[in-house]
Chain A
Amino acid sequence: MASLVAILDVKGKSLITRSYRDDVPPSYIERFLPLVLDMEEENVQVTPCFSDEGINYMHIRHNNLYLLAMSKRNSNAAEIIFFLHRLCSVLTEYFKELEEESIRDNFVIIYELLDEMMDFGYPQTTESKILQEYITQESHKLEVQARPPMAVTNAVSWRSEGIRYRKNEVFLDVVESVNLLVNAAGNVIRSEILGAVKMKCYLSGMPELRLGLNDKVMFESTGRAARGKSIEMEDVKFHQCVRLSRFENDRTISFIPPDGEFELMSYRLSTPVKPLVWVEASVESHRGSRVEYMVKIRGQFKRKSTANNVEIYVPVPDDADSPKFRTSVGSVVYAPEKSAFVWKIKQLGGGRDYLMRAHFGLPSVRNEELDKRAPISVKFEIPYFTVSGIQVRYLKIVEKSGYQALPWVRYITQNGDDYVLRTITDAKSSSIIAPL
């Protein structure tokens, strides 16, 4: 429950405010940023929720904006914080970029959205696809008045009736993101696979879909001997269209899909993963004059696979200058705004390894501060491959008109947002780095 929702600029001034209840006066918005600054000053951790004089402030940050909700009661913090994120994504879908300017330009429609997405402090419809059906920039130009789409209150709140396609198709993308943490000794200390099944549905009518995966739990419960590999998903999350009780009973994934693009499910596996792309770097640092890097990369996956768009971010001191790079493959650029250089390789074959060297100048005046020891982070994509070995066994599509529809499946493995290696070793004593 929230009494008020507001979007504030970086100075804490309200860009747009919607009051849902009378118990928190909008003037309290102005107190938010000073409170945050006070806490920072007193070295108190600023947390997403805090309370002051009986008012609870719950906020998230997005770019340079604060999305703030306030209440006087013991509200459901998880609900409100999650709602603010949802608000963020709905507004982003409406205006591409959620920032000060897009808010100022679209205040009318944002008021409309805020009115529809929350009532009396309780979240209502937050599906942007459904909202777009009756809240649009052009609504007033229509001859006919908009009506609430059936979907708003339907049991199937995510799909409207009467959808027609000439060609019925479904595209399934299985995307696995690998998160990995390698310590300085080169051991994997944490790894997980975050998988997602994304769909693009172009189907007519109200189709019933059933998705079959090589799910170990289901194989075991049905007593079917698994042909080939089966995988054990640790935690599965579904789009609201999937019948959860059915999955709980017999692991069947059955659903009526929303129209167009959506994420059907996500899953997690924490089985140990061998680093698919291995990177290590040695540093030879001469304080006050220069610092040299040697970076080694290796594709540790099957020879027939290829990793595309590989990017390796190697951190360097903030005050490094005059970069020089040498490499046999790809290109290297210095990204001073990130205090790193980036080695980009378009295609990295399985089992191949490459070297690159970098040389930076350092100012002769020594930096007093300690070096931040940021880890190396890596980005990559490996198509036609999943680390977990997940497979789509079937996708059954049944619609009462009985049309035939074609499912297309694609697999891809990529880095997660936390694929990092702390494998920068100091090479002060041994001079393994040859001069450029």
Chain B
Amino acid sequence: MSAAPPRKGENWELRQQLNSEYRDKRADAIKRVIANHTIGKDCSGLFPDVVKNMQTDDLEQKKLVYLYLMNYAKTQPELVILAVNTFVKDTADSNPLVRALAIRTMSVLRAEKILDYLASPLSRCLKDENPYVRKTAALCVAKVFDLKPELCVEYGFIETLRDLIGDGNPMVVANAVAALGDIHEASLALPPSNPSSPNGESPPPSSRPSSQLFIIDQPTLTKLLVALNECSEWGRIAILNTLARYKAQDVAESEHICERVMPQFQHINAAVVLGAVKVIMIHMRNVQREDLLRSLSRKMAPPLVTLISSAPEVQWVALRNINLLLQKRPDILANEMRVFFCKYNDPPYVKVEKLEIMVRLASERNVDTLLGELKEYASEVDVEFVRKAVLAIGQAAIKIETAAERCVGVLMDLIETRVSYVVQEAVIVMKDIFRKYPHSYEGIIPALCANLDELDEPEAKASLIWIIGEYAEKIDNADELLTVFLEAFKEESYPVQLQTLTAIVKLFLKKPDQSQAIVQRVLQAATKDCDSPDVRDRAYIYWRLLSSDPAAAKSVVLSVRPPISLPQTTVVPAILEELLGEISSLASVYHKPAATFIGKGRLGAEEMQRRAVDQTRPEEEVSREKALQTVVAGQQAENLLDFDDEPSAPTEAGAISSQAIASAAKSSNPLDELMDLFSSASMAAPTTQPVQSTGMSGSMADLMSPMNGSGTRSGVVSPTVAAPPPQQQLNGAEDDLLGLF
């Protein structure tokens, strides 16, 4: 078909060989066909000739022909029927390897016609005397379910699978569990009204097909726990995944599960260890016995630490999960900070995660070691890493009050190195330290200002300007310093302009006599020459405030802001709980709920709709969903302040959010920004992060609108405006809003 004339020559030659009377030649030709396929050539034209070679005693050749069929059955659906006879025959071969191979291949050929012939061989293979065939057939049920769920129901394959959980062979059990888990997950994606999925027991219309397909009851649980100790490593993972879904009947059962799963911590396979951690984190919620809780936490630490000696990619997955675990249980690795010290040749993605975890584990006891280490990192050559190390020093200062002074000392040492990016990052970090501990380290301000000329990054500039404005009364030449920035006002980026504007207004409010002229100039510049509405609007607000009621201006611009703090979690609690239930999965690695990154939004939307329909969901799910909705709302740059007013009618909210999620997931990089909003961005600079500026300018405008409105209408600013709006306590995004003043 698509074969161009020159390639036709080769295909023609291959065809001759495939039909040769000599076995060797045919075997050779098949290899060449597969070789061509491997390098991406289209070999679909040879279909009938390859299929002719299916009947052979040569196992390798058979495998290759099967491989060919798997890849090309879709392109030649009408010809696949040629292969059916051999397939059916092979599923009854005397060699179990052939039987398994045949059933395995047959069930993935995506051709309607084959499926009709598959049912009876599959039923036979599910009951085969050889466990190798049974374990292969078990997975075939999941394959068939993927193609045609009603077939599985019709032939009772799913019941057979459930019976296989009791099989004497652990490999068979493992694959049966894996298949059921897969079917369960697939059925979640089916539309709820799918008439085929309920298995004839006339279930109530509201229930999902999924709950019918794989119920884990107590007898199943017992079987699973027994098989867990005998399975291969991959089987254990499947079983652990299933145990994570099991809802324990009572406390005793939860405890029992924890105790039985704990030995898996000793397994060499990192995924088994993380799977065990997942199960225990889930069932631990019900455990009340103090001693057991303690022993679980204690036993969890060593295996987690050992994961840090694995291959870098495995390490990374482990580190991402550890980062989550620590948000819930900061105590488990309290004594193990040293393990997370970066190695010189760790890949960058590992180093960054380790840094984050080190800060999480920082405490009064280990902060000196940590600082020594961070200082060492700050002298490395990887710019990104160095910056993160400097940032980490600031985070340690904010987290541990008693160590703040030492942190500042280290930062000053770093500023003395005069390495441009180190200095800039240190300035940014210093600004956060000032926000946390106002008036504590004023002595270092001259040293910071000495580096004024070296700053060329907007964020660093904005930070220094903020510091100057904040401490304008203490800095004798504040007006000179700010004039420097004012000179270049037009060329500066918007965040720097905003900060310059605010800082000069602060200066004016603090030292009115010296700075009359400069404030005039900045207001002029910002309202006349600036093309950013944010800068312009803010300048107008200041202007009105200053001209109408300087006292009100003072209480707004110089109001005391709540101190920032280092958030203990990077995701909202409801989502954290969900992610902890998914330890070792992609969701827990990305730190994003699965609904936000899979299925291009379609699945997400359906999921939300279904949840909305389901009236009987537990409290937790509601709050999780709400959180998710807010995440989505945030991404769409909708008003974050509405968060609390959100109507709690779940159906309505669910319907809105399903669309929202759908559209959110469509955008290429959905959650990064969202999560940023939730990381209660207190460490971020006041105005500079581009990500936040959209959300913030929105909420900013909202905050301002009442002032603006009343100002224009009555000409007098009502005194109530001066009081900090109540919403400001809401979350970190508002912290930053405050930072504007």
Contact = CB atoms under 8 A, between A and B. Distances in A.
Contacts of A155: 169-170, 230
Interface in B297-328: 302-303, 305-306, 309, 311-314, 316-318, 321
Given A21-B146, A244-B266, A183 B172 contact: no
A148 B598 contact: no
A145 B100 CA distance: 14
B178 A122 contact: yes
Contacts of B182: 1, 120, 122
Contact of A124 (B234, B313, B317, B594): B234
B589 interface: yes
Given A45-B352, A189-B372, A153 B131 contact: yes
B317 A81 contact: yes
B359 interface: no
A63 interface: no
B110 interface: yes
B234 A122 contact: yes
B341 A244 contact: no
Interface in B261-309: 262-271, 274-275, 302-303, 305-306, 309
Given A22-B110, A54-B598, A153 B172 contact: yes
A327 interface: no
A368 interface: no
A41 interface: no
A244 B264 contact: yes
Interface string A259-271: 0000000101010
Contact of B130 (A76, A148, A183, A248): A148
A111 B178 contact: no
B373 interface: yes
B584 A78 contact: yes
A391 interface: no
Contacts of A78: 270-271, 274-275, 314, 317-318, 321, 584
A141 to B, nearest CB: 10
A46 interface: yes
B401 interface: no
Interface string A147-188: 110001111010000000000000000000000010110000
Contacts of B668: 52-53
Given A122-B234, A183-B376, A247-B266, A147 B97 contact: yes
A327 to B, nearest CB: 25
Contacts of A243: 229
Interface in A132-148: 134, 139-140, 145-148
A139 B338 contact: no
Given A189-B373, A240-B268, A145 B97 contact: yes
Contacts of A74: 582, 585-587, 594, 597-598
Given A74-B585, A153-B132, A189-B369, A369 B381 contact: yes
Interface stretch (A202-210, A346-354, A372-380): A372-380
A145 B98 contact: yes
B247 to A, nearest CB: 20
B665 interface: yes
A322 interface: no
Interface stretch (B31-39, B502-510, B637-645): B31-39
A329 interface: no
Contacts of A49: 317, 586, 589-590
B263 A244 contact: yes
Interface stretch (A231-239, A355-363, A407-415): A231-239
Nearest to B590: A51
B237 A60 contact: no
B472 interface: no
A422 B594 CA distance: 43
A45 B268 contact: no
A139 B241 CA distance: 37
A268 B241 contact: no
Contacts of B229: 243-245
B586 A56 contact: yes
Contacts of A147: 95-97
Interface string B207-237: 0000000000000000000000110111001
B734 to A, nearest CB: 28
Contact of B338 (A17, A51, A190): A190
Main secondary structure of the interface of A (DSSP, over half): mixed
Contacts of B381: 369-370, 372
A77 B585 contact: yes
Contact of B348 (A1, A45, A79, A194): A45
A115 B108 CA distance: 13
A418 interface: yes
Nearest to A74: B594
A85 interface: yes
Interface in A224-262: 234-240, 243-245, 247-248
B370 to A, nearest CB: 10
B102 interface: no
A192 B266 CA distance: 18
A299 to B, nearest CB: 24
A45 B349 contact: yes
A285 B587 CA distance: 50
B230 A111 contact: no
A216 B341 CA distance: 28
B564 interface: no
B345 to A, nearest CB: 8
Contacts of B341: 181, 189-190
B271 A79 contact: yes
A237 B266 contact: yes
A85 B302 CA distance: 22
B268 A237 contact: yes
A75 interface: yes
A235 B588 CA distance: 24
Nearest to A62: B311
Nearest to A59: B313
B626 interface: no
Given A45-B348, A148-B96, A374-B344, A54 B600 contact: yes
Given A145-B95, A244-B263, A77 B317 contact: yes
A239 B268 contact: yes
Interface string A27-61: 00000000000000001011111011110101111
B390 interface: no
Contacts of A115: 63, 67, 104
A308 interface: no
Which of B97, B142, B274, B352 counts the most A-chain CB atoms under 10 A from its CB?
B97
Nearest to A73: B598
A383 interface: no
A112 interface: yes
A194 B313 contact: no
Contacts of B270: 78, 82
Q: What are the 8 closest A-B residue pairs judged by CB atoms, nearest first?
A: A235-B302, A74-B594, A153-B131, A54-B600, A78-B271, A79-B271, A248-B263, A244-B263
26 contacts: A19-B71, A21-B146, A48-B316, A48-B349, A49-B590, A56-B597, A72-B598, A74-B586, A76-B586, A78-B270, A79-B234, A79-B237, A119-B175, A122-B175, A124-B135, A146-B59, A148-B97, A148-B100, A190-B338, A190-B339, A234-B302, A248-B266, A369-B381, A373-B380, A420-B343, A422-B376
